[in-house]
Amino acid sequence: MTFDYDLFVIGAGSGGLAASKRAASYGAKVAIAEADLVGGTCVVRGCIPKKLMVYGSRFPGLFHDAAGYGWNVEKSELDWEHLIAAIDQEVRRLSQLHTMFLEKNGVKLIPGRATFADPHTLEVDGRKITADKILIAVGGRPVKPDLPGMEYAITSNEMFHLPQKPKHIAIIGAGYIGVEFAGIMNGLGCQVTQIIRKDLVLKGFDEDIRTGIQHGMAQHGIRILTNTVVKEIERVPEGLKLMLSGEHEEPITADVFLAATGRTPYVEGLGLENAGVDIIPASVEGPGYSTTSAIAVNEYSQTTQSNIFAVGDCTDRINLTPVAIAEGRAFADTEFGNNRRSMDNENVPSAVFSQPEAATVGMTEAQAREKLGEAVKCYRARFRPLFHNLTGQDEKTIIKLVVDGNTDKVLGAHMVGEYAAEIIQGVAIAVKMGATKKDFDATIGIHPTSAEEFVTLR
């Protein structure tokens, strides 16, 4: 049978872009469909605009710290409209670059959302297109709990387009999105109240990271209501009134309400049933929280239909941009490059661009102890970084190594503090290579830095 394309990709986000360009480099005839701006969540409404907002939110702290070094910084003022417009302009510039890269690599961009008619046939705006192999890379989307008044809540998608700076923003969600936006909005001068259902933010991270970040957030002026849930939201003349239950039952009123309660694979409306592609359910606990579904794949990103594959957040494995890129390239190498390989999911580093920042690679202490018990050794340091010796700020950096006492192998590295992501990226190489605590000890530190603490822990 003759097909229109060797490969058709649904979704021009990180995974889809990487896979399409790599497959085209092997000589495949490739097309990619995208209903939104090219670039996906990361470029359009995720990593990039968020990190730019993080940068913008740090200036007030720097202005304050400058006084400790003798600088006389006059009163500063944020032009909110300028910030939002500048971020949007950069997003569109990057999106256009990705479009140009597709064209340069010979990949056909087809505007619109593709849906399956059968395992080899797709429809895009009424047009039928056939392909030998099809890759689903549609990513995920934010979800809101099904609670009364939740239509008044915004998601992370809308955070980059607020017409004016909120005076008071309420946030529900203890994950990295809620934590990051709490720090961003606090830094930009908003009153921030974060509501979490348990006693600590960032479930799944190492306990020292969780406590370190939460303490630092409170130190920076973020009000965190623990063991508390939102029952309903009501619009009142003053803004949005949130009715609460749990440890804190007194209602709060804010002018913006962000629901940062997670993301779900964006598989609705793809017509997966027409193609014989199975999905797997994943339940989320809590009142008003729904069941989500992800595309079932094997280690080579192959679905239950042999010619259809899926990568990235729609598979709900490790939802990180570099992982989606790696999965997309591994798929292209396997299917078009005569190099059968899969993405290695071990020791994938990640960061939370909270304030204070955190980063991690490898096992948490709890994971290591569950596997090895008393053989686990942990090495920690908690200190005020040199920079703040003159600012007077009570900022703390946390450094931690989790080690297998039997083999001396470093199982995990964790950090809370400035430049944590930049530092852990380098440490991740050592952890990935199987470095031992002795290897860390034998490495000379760069002084004076926070990073040197990783090689001086005793």
Per-residue 3-state assignment (H helix, E strand, C coil) for 246-284: ECCCCCEEECEEEECCCEEECCCCCCHHHHCCCEEEECC
Active site residue 447: yes
Read off the pLDDT of residues 232-265 as tens digits, 9 standing for 90 and up. 999 999 999 999 999 999 999 999 999 999 999 9
Give the lowest-confidence range in 70-84, 118-132, 204-218.
70-84
Amino acid in the structure at residue 6: D
Residue 253 sits in the same domain as residue 268: no
Residue 74 sits in the same domain as residue 171: no
Mean pLDDT of the chain: 96
Q: At 48, which helix (H) or strand (E)?
A: helix 47-57
Q: Where are the beta strands (DSSP E) in 173-270?
A: 191-195, 223-225, 228-236, 239-246, 252-254, 256-259, 263-265
- For residue 297, pLDDT over 80 is answered with yes
DSSP summary character for residue 403: E
Read off the pLDDT of residues 72-89 as tens digits, 9 standing for 90 and up. 988 889 999 999 999 999
Handedness of CA 187, 353, 243, 145 (dihedral sign): positive
Gap between the Cα atoms of 402 and 363, Å rounded: 7
pLDDT value of residue 285: 55
- For residue 336, pLDDT over 70 is answered with yes
From 261, 285, 305, the end of a domain falls on 261
For residues 170 and 291, which has the higher predicted lDDT (pLDDT)? Answer: 170
Read off the pLDDT of residues 390-410 as tens digits, 9 standing for 90 and up. 999 999 999 999 999 999 999
Torsion (CA) 320, 324, 327, 328 in degrees, nearest 10: -170
Residue 288 sits in the same domain as residue 246: no
Mean pLDDT of 305-331: 97
In this prediction, residue 283 has a pLDDT band, given cuts at 50, 70 and 90, of: low
Residue 131 sits in the same domain as residue 34: yes
pLDDT value of residue 74: 84
Position 57 in a domain: yes
pLDDT value of residue 291: 63
Of the candidates 170, 221, 179, the residue with the CA atom closest to the CA atom of residue 200:
179
For residue 342, count CB atoms less than 10 angstroms from its CB and return exposed for 0-12, middle for 13-18, buried for 19 or more: middle
Position 46 in a domain: yes
pLDDT value of residue 282: 64
Mean pLDDT of 344-372: 98
Q: At 421, which helix (H) or strand (E)?
A: helix 420-432
Position 447 in a domain: yes
Residue 17 sits in the same domain as residue 129: yes
Gap between the Cα atoms of 86 and 80, Å rounded: 10
Q: At 110, which helix (H) or strand (E)?
A: strand 108-111
Q: Which of 82, 248, 414, 447 is catalytic?
A: 447
Residue 313 sits in the same domain as residue 329: yes
Side-chain half-sphere CA neighbours of 150 within 13 A:
16
Residue 301 sits in the same domain as residue 383: no
